[in-house]
């Protein structure tokens, strides 16, 4: 094998351990973002140098030809703001070795079919499709869908299929009312997080008297696991505040997204009201999934709240306190998310009068299909 400059450095570094080694060709690999991803907002650019132990002087990151940062020691990462639109970007990383050799890697992210901002009248609809047997239907194209607003068919202008990445916020109720169910809840959250794909971006929230972030979207799976293990029940419940906080975080990102709540649904100290949550869900494109715990399993009033939050958004509510049944619940949620299509249209009726617009989504083709999607939206007066 003919060794070049960086390979010789790698051989020298590894041979110092006294072990017999096979020298891999040195490389710089951008780990985040992955090629073809949809990105928006702040995210962490991350790279690794192979093999480990290679003497690196510095690693620089650039986005679209502009320097983002330079790092002289690992971890080789930095935060970059991709902006509000889901545009295509070129990310380049360069590692300079101590002997002057350079390792380079470049990835390109994709532009989503749409990137509506708050100033553009575009309605987003997340939809899942099941067949007559209740099985989720994957692989459909834009042409298979028809969208109706107040009974009037709309032109689907943008479409994202079910294989793209997902932006998730997982919110865990750790209030005192959850004490009897807390051990089961922690296990439930662990299992759910373990069922997600590496490409999914997950922010982990916890809430009692207030809402706080326990693991940011850049955190590793191991860090999220440790955060879940530290959750303890105490205090009151700010359930409505947690819903609004989760939706706020999701609305910063484009593409497929969802809020997953582990809660008993009892609210005691929120600044927000049930009406605030209702109004927000009516204008949000993020489906909400609820895994009911504790009192939420038994009390009709709480179940009504959870069913309403999930149903209007196009999500689902699940009720089980048996750990052995949770895997089936998480499989259903995971399959739901993996099979979720994202449609968008510019309403033919663009009047913003504060009225409620109903949405109906149909799927063409043979057989009977059932579509679950948001039930409608509130045409909020601009500036209101």
- DSSP reduced 3-state for 31: strand
Query: Which of the two residues, 70 and 138, has the higher pLDDT score?
Result: 70
The CATH superfamily of 5-108 is Immunoglobulins (2.60.40.10)
User: Which residues make beta-bridge pairs with 67?
Assistant: 62
pLDDT score at 113: 46
User: What distance in Å separates the CA atoms of residue 212 and residue 209, rounded to the nearest whole number?
Assistant: 10
Mean pLDDT of the chain: 82
Return the closest-CA partner of residue 373 out of 112, 129, 121: 129
pLDDT in tens, 36-90: 776 767 778 999 999 888 899 999 999 988 889 999 999 999 988 887 666 788 9
User: What distance in Å separates the CA atoms of residue 221 and residue 313, rounded to the nearest whole number?
Assistant: 28
Instruction: Report H helices in 154-295.
Output: 182-194, 221-229, 239-250, 274-283
User: Which residues make beta-bridge pairs with 212?
Assistant: 206
Buried b (16+ CB within 10 A) or exposed e, 311-347: bbbbbbbbbbbeeeebeebbeebbbbbbbbbbbbbbb
Give the tokens for residue 52.
């480990």
- Per-residue pLDDT for 273 more than 80? yes
In the chain, domain spans = 5-108, 123-162+341-378, 166-338
pLDDT score at 3: 42
User: Does the model's pTM come out above 0.95?
Assistant: no
Query: Which of the two residues, 234 and 6, has the higher pLDDT score?
Result: 234
Mean pLDDT (whole number) for 253-261:
84
- Per-residue pLDDT for 179 more than 50? yes
pLDDT in tens, 281-339: 877 888 899 888 777 677 888 888 888 888 888 888 988 767 667 777 877 887 887 78
Cβ 61 vs Cβ 91: under 8 Å: yes
pLDDT score at 35: 80
User: What distance in Å separates the CA atoms of residue 102 and residue 56, rounded to the nearest whole number?
Assistant: 9
Instruction: List the CATH code of the domain at 166-338.
Output: 3.40.50.410
pLDDT in tens, 226-244: 988 888 888 888 889 999 9
Return the closest-CA partner of residue 177 out of 274, 270, 295: 295
> CA torsion 119→213→336→364, rounded to 10°?
0
pLDDT in tens, 7-51: 454 455 555 555 545 556 899 999 988 887 767 677 789 999 998
Mean pLDDT (whole number) for 145-161:
90
Lowest mean pLDDT among 117-121, 212-216, 299-303, 370-374: 117-121
């Amino acid at each position: 094998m003919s060794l070049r400059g960086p390979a010789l450095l790698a051989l020298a570094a590894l041979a110092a351990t006294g072990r017999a080694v096979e020298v891999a060709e040195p490389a710089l690999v951008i780990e985040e973002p992955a090629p073809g991803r949809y990105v928006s907002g702040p995210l962490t650019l991350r790279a690794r140098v192979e093999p480990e132990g290679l003497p690196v002087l510095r690693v620089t990151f650039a986005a679209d030809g502009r320097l983002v940062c330079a790092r002289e020691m690992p971890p080789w990462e930095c935060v970059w703001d991709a902006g509000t639109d889901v545009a295509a970007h070129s990310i380049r990383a360069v590692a300079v070795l101590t002997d002057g050799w350079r390792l380079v890697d470049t990835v390109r992210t994709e532009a989503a079919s749409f990137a509506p901002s708050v100033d553009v009248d575009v309605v987003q609809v997340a939809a899942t499709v099941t067949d007559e047997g209740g099985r989720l239907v994957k692989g459909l194209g834009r042409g298979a869908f028809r969208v109706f607003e107040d009974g009037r068919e709309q032109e689907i202008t943008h479409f994202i299929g079910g294989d793209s990445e997902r932006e998730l916020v997982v919110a865990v109720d750790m209030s005192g009312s959850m004490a009897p169910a807390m051990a089961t809840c922690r296990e439930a959250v662990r299992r759910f997080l373990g069922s997600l794909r590496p490409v999914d971006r997950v922010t982990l929230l916890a809430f009692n008297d207030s809402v706080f972030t326990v693991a940011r979207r850049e955190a590793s799976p191991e860090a999220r696991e440790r955060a879940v293990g530290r959750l303890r029940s105490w205090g009151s419940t700010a359930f409505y505040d947690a819903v609004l906080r989760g939706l706020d975080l999701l609305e910063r990102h484009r593409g497929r997204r969802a809020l997953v709540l582990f809660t008993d649904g009892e609210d005691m100290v929120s600044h927000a009201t049930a009406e605030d949550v209702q109004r927000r869900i009516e204008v949000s494109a993020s489906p909400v999934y609820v895994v009911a715990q504790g009192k939420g399993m038994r009390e009709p009033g709480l179940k009504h709240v959870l069913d309403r939050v999930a149903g209007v958004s196009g999500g689902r509510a699940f009720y089980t306190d048996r750990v052995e049944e949770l895997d089936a619940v998480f499989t259903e949620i995971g399959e739901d998310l993996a099979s979720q299509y994202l449609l968008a249209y510019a309403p033919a009726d663009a009047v913003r009068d504060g009225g409620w617009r109903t949405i109906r989504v149909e799927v063409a083709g043979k057989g009977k299909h059932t579509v679950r999607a948001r039930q409608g939206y509130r045409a909020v007066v601009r500036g209101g």
